[in-house]
Amino acid sequence: MKKSKYNVAVIGAGVVGVEMLRVLKQRGFPVNELSVFARSERPMEVDGDKYAVKAISPEGFSGVDIALFAGTEGEKGAAVTYAAEAVKRGAVVIDNGADFRMDPKVPLVVPEVNAKDVKKHKGIIANPNCSTIQMVAALWPIYKKAGIKRVVVTTLQASSGAGRSAVEQLKKENIEISKSGYENVRADIRDRSMPQQLAYNVFPQIGGFAEDDYTSEEWKLVKETHKIMHDDKIKISATTVRVPVRTGHSEAVYIETSSRISPEKVKEILSDSPGIVLMDDPKNNLYPMPKDAEGRDEVFVGRVRGDPFVKNGLWLWVVADNLRKGAATNAVQIAECVISS
């Protein structure tokens, strides 16, 4: 697909759809005509730019070259209904939802890891889960150098990963608790979108409980990592936790490498890897945090250290903006790979 400019459609006007519009502009994607589709027509403004959101329909995809579906984690997204219609009309679909990720005919892509897989698409390319994206981006440079046998990861995931309604829940809960003078840290609000209170709390459930009492989000980290890295022999175990942060996922990642590699060498490799920012000076309290990653496209890594009891064991602390690199930016990067291939 070689053109000077492309007709682009963004499907979804929620937090990820808004971020997609923002990233397209910031990265200078060569857009000819830009359309925004949602369930209903309405005006929308992003950073001073006004968009006329159109009601989604199969006919709306006529002439579209790239269709970016914002997707909704945990729900069937618009791509289930409209992806095939968009492809039939000549568009390449990049879907941020979960509906096509494990389809063997659909590439699942993090450009820093497996950009070549874009060429295998048959009209649809899947964007991985936000927590998977930042983890594999950090692991891939290490994997290429020393191999990885085992991964144990605990994620600390922000409210925005569950959508705008979850962010509003956190805000309302904080307000209610503050009104009590912080004497009571329990908030009882209506229209709760998450399974538990989030303000002044953390809870170890993201997604529904599935096989072996792991959640669907935890299994995504396993299965998506295997597919992206083309290695299903890596033993991966995950615990996913929702935390009272607006935006920015953090992960404590423990790995066992196939061959010995020092923490110093890991830091050297990561500091030279595209899309990675090494922030690792613990004596000066320098390490990645969600507040610093928000609005950024890179994956931040710190707290790199060896395991004093396991020869090939290493710890990493990995942070990224889940709406940008974890969703919108990665999708636009995939689109950039599509138009350059």
The torsion angle over the Cα atoms of residues 180, 185, 188 and 193, rounded to 10 degrees, is 130
Which of 70, 99, 69, 80 is CA-nearest to residue 163?
A: 70
Non-local CB neighbours of 61 within 8 Å, separated by 6+ positions: 9, 67, 82, 85, 86, 89, 91
Residue with tokens 């060569």: 30
Active site residue 230: no
From 121, 130, 226, 337, the catalytic residue: 130
The C-alpha atoms of residue 257 and residue 141 are separated, in whole angstroms, by: 12
Active site residue 130: yes
- Give catalytic residue positions: 130, 249
